[in-house]
A and B are shown apart, each in its own frame.
Chain A
Amino acid sequence: MFANFDFDVIRRSLGYLFLDGMTFTLTLTGLATLGGIIFGTLIAMMRLSGSWLLSRIAGLYVDLMRSLPLVLVIFWFYFLVPYIGQWLTGAARPVRVGAFASSLITFTLFEAAYFSEIMRAGIQSISKGQPAAAQALGLTYAQTMRYVVLPQAFRNMLPVLLTQTIVLFQDTSLVYVLSIPDFLGAASKVAQRDGRLVEMYLFAALVYFVISCVASFGVRRLQARIAYVH
């Protein structure tokens, strides 16, 4: 069955695959997670705030992002971001945005909707006594959030946030639709150039599998360790 397969092609392209492809994927995952959590927390706070307007806007944003396929959102932002940049900065021509920046913006904004739902659940799971006590101590809303509520919410939801990060890591492979060179894109380029589809795709599947497995195993261990009873 594996007679005329040339697995040497994997060895020859390891440098390109990992130095170019995997760094792109991991950098994108890391930065998008960071941005997504920050932006997601903001949106969660907007939804839980007293203001009807803020709450509606945040709700609509989350509903919109969760109803659309990621592939469509990737297409939207790839073509749209330079024009938005032009409108925002009042520039004379569309702002030049490269593939990485465009992907980063797409994933940050898309995943922020999912992160916001997680953070919202986290904030709501904190017992009401906490912010009440903070208010009794004279802390402002900002201080309550910063020192009392968010740290606890974040710690509670850490396993779920990390699981969503693993999902993000897998989702980055979708930039393939625009021929952007992430890990899968790099594997694909080598595969098509040398006609070695089987070898490269099997290898790519193996790498994704190992990384996700190890990461979710780590998350499970973490979950067991930080779980405490209220």
Chain B
Amino acid sequence: MRPSRRDDACIDRANTNGAGSSVAGARTATLNYHWNWHVFWEPSPNGTGTYLDMLLSGLVLTIETALCAWIIALVLGAIVGVLRTLPSKAASWFGFAYVEFFRNMPLLVQLFLWFFVLPELLPRPWGLWLKQLTNAPFYTAAIGIGLFMSARVAEQTRSGINALPRGQRAAATALGLTTPQTYRYVLLPMAFRIILPPLTSEFLSTIKNTSVAITIGLIELTAEARAMQEFSFQVFEAFTAATILYLLVNIVVVVVMRFVERGVAVPGYIGGK
């Protein structure tokens, strides 16, 4: 955040002071906000440690949710993407309907449907069990975000497969491979290498989308930053920390994926040297 600016003009004070922040903090007449960067080392009210611990536990939950959702998205998305490229009309239509269903509704609305509406539509004992699961927000978020992202992965897979030269499929048929074998040994390996860069950005999207689950009660990083703001009144410190943590996660994922891309690249093809 921008550092403080001293100003001599007579300014009326609408202060937001940090709780218990008699320690360091620059009073800025212009910004009318009392900075307190030491708040991260002050104990948080939920007794689990400092505010920094709160944020880090939120980060862990963000990563866990994102990974679970991503696995669901990859598996389902690959299947649906393949379905859309199959010669069969029925499979193709099913894939189309699946993708359209999940792409035309905001993620927030989808999470609400899974979290609030589904338990009410089921028979009462099942609905009650769903509602009273201890980690209901986590499971709902992972599955809801996973399904949402699977539509996008399906689209990527489809464009990856379609980007391959048509000769590949023809040659596979000529060699006597069945359709499943064609996909398993010829099409999918190359298609995935092609779509690895867009898949990386879809994974980053998944991580960002976990923040939407704040609305169904998942206490991930953004939610912890908000809770920190509510307990300590240090708005900007809390959100700055959350911003930095998201940026760090981004950088780590991009670097790791770059290594993966280089690792699986086929020499002399597409991007491999």
- Indicate yes or no for A touching B, C-beta below 8 A: yes
Q: Bound state CA distance, A79 and B235, in angstroms?
A: 8
Asked whether A173 lies within 8 Å of B104 as measured between CB atoms, the reply is no
* B212 vs chain A, min Cβ distance (A): 6
Q: Which residues of A contact B113 (CB under 8 A)?
A: 201-202, 205
Q: Take A83-B32, A197-B117 as given contacts and tell me if A174 and B108 are in contact as well, using a CB distance cutoff of 8 Å.
A: yes
Contact A71 B104 (CB under 8 A): no
CA distance A196 to B225 in the complex (A): 31
Shortest beta-carbon distance, A127 to chain B, in Å? 23
A48 within 8 A of B: no
On whether the beta carbons of B214 and A71 are closer than 8 Å, the reply is yes
Q: Mark B220-233, 1 if CB is under 8 A from A, else 0.
A: 00100110000000
> Looking at chain A, what size class is its interface with the partner chain?
35 or more
A-B contact count (CB 8 A): 113
A69 to B246 alpha-carbon distance, docked (Å): 8
Residues of A within 8 A of B246 (CB): 67-69, 72
Chain B positions within 8 Å of A71 at CB level = 211-212, 214, 222
Q: Which residues of A contact B209 (CB under 8 A)?
A: 69
Tell me if B250 counts as interface (CB < 8 A to partner A). yes
Judge whether A170 and B250 touch: CB under 8 Å.
no
CA distance A219 to B187 in the complex (A): 30
Chain B contacts for A184, CB-based, 8 A: 106, 108-109
Q: Chain B 113-132, CB within 8 Å of chain A: the 1/0 string? A: 10011001100000000000
Contact sample, A vs B, 5 pairs, CB 8 Å cutoff: A67-B246, A72-B243, A87-B5, A176-B215, A198-B120
Binding site for B on A (CB under 8 A): 1, 64, 67-72, 75-76, 79-80, 83, 86-87, 92-94, 170-171, 173-174, 176-177, 184, 197-198, 201-202, 204-205, 208-209, 212-213, 216
